[in-house]
Structure 1
Amino acid sequence: MKSAFDPEDVLRLPLMANLATLAEDGAPRNAPVWFAWEAGALWMLGSAESASVRRVARDPRVAVEIVDYDNAAGILRHLGLRGRATVEPMDAALFRRLLTRYLGPPQAWNPWFVDEIARVDDPSGRLIRLVPDTVFANDASFFRTGPDLATGQAPPRGPAGGIGGPPPAGPRPRSRGREPS
């Protein structure tokens, strides 16, 4: 495996994260979340009614996993953050920045989503804030050295007869999501 990467390389991408919290009986619970990384903290959306928010308020120990995966490009980067999270009151400006990161400019937002799901101006909105105690990064990019799992075909041989070849030069294309501007 390649050496670890700068966590900021993944944190700046609009990827899905998995928030792991602890249920009352101690069982782990996972929830997919959108996130923003600002001022050394990971911010995630919630509401006063959210089970994740209630679990964090009761037991602040959390883990967050973010995976940047693109099979066609051979990208597999895993970022993990652990620590004690806090439940914060809604910060409308931060919330709007977070939504813009995933949905584009506000004029492109679906009004139904904003009013019924995101509830941007709802005072019961909450943010989960994690300043991680532990950050780990694992880069297994360009791991495709065996047969293609979909076809069973061996990968092409490189110029020296080795499998594959060097990683492609330049920035990799992104088929989904949008990089922040």
Structure 2
Amino acid sequence: MTTPFDPAPVLAKPLMANLATVTADGAPRNAPVWFAWEDGALWMLSGIDNSSAQRIAANPQVAVEIVDYDNAGGVLRHVGLRGRATVEPMDTALFRRLLRRYLGPEEVWNAWFIEEVACIDHPDGRLIRLVPESVFTNDVSFFRSGPDLATS
């Protein structure tokens, strides 16, 4: 039973997304990513040597899945985005907004993580951008209550 819903509330949450790409020989690959939804595009962190970025450069067809799941609350919403992604130069302001979604205000960020992992000012920093060609939503939050009490 498919129950569509407006994806905006799910895209506004700091959830994990799964980015699906394919290798040159057609093997599927999946990577968990942090994301931001801005101006009709999904933005994901990357780097020039990142394997997802390299696969997208060779084959831009991707799928992204985001699941909003709260077992105790009976919430299970799925957003699927499909299309052709691009690897974009670093936009430091966007990158910082994206990190704030997950890490909170900059004054509480772990300095080691920012310098060694996030590398905000590193010249090899990149962002993956997906303007979806299709968006699929399915709200199966009735898994505890049945369809009569489903949330949308």
TM-score by length of 2: 0.94
What code does the residue aligned with 1:95 have? F
Residue 93 of structure 1: how far off its partner (Å): 0.3
Give the 5 Å matches for 1:1-181. Answer: 1=1, 3-145=3-145, 166=149
Unaligned runs of 5+ in 2: none
Q: Percent identity?
A: 67
Residue 144 of structure 1: how far off its partner (Å): 1.5
Unaligned runs of 5+ in 1: 146-162, 169-181
What code does the residue aligned with 2:60 have? P
SS in 1 for 2:143: coil
RMSD between aligned residues: 1.7
Cα distance in 2, alignment partners of residues 6 and 89 from structure 1: 30
Cα distance in 2, alignment partners of residues 77 and 37 from structure 1: 17
Larger radius of gyration: 1
Query: Does the CA contact (< 8 Å) of 1:41 and 1:131 recur in 2?
Result: yes
Cα distance in 2, alignment partners of residues 61 and 99 from structure 1: 25
Residue 167 of structure 1: how far off its partner (Å): 6.3
Structure 1 consecutive aligned stretches of length 4 or more whose deviation exceeds 2 Å:
165-168
Q: How many residues align?
A: 151
TM-score by length of 1: 0.79
SS in 2 for 1:19: strand
What code does the residue aligned with 1:56 have? I
More strand by share: 2
Residue 135 of structure 1: how far off its partner (Å): 0.3
Aligned to 1:157: none
More helix by share: 2
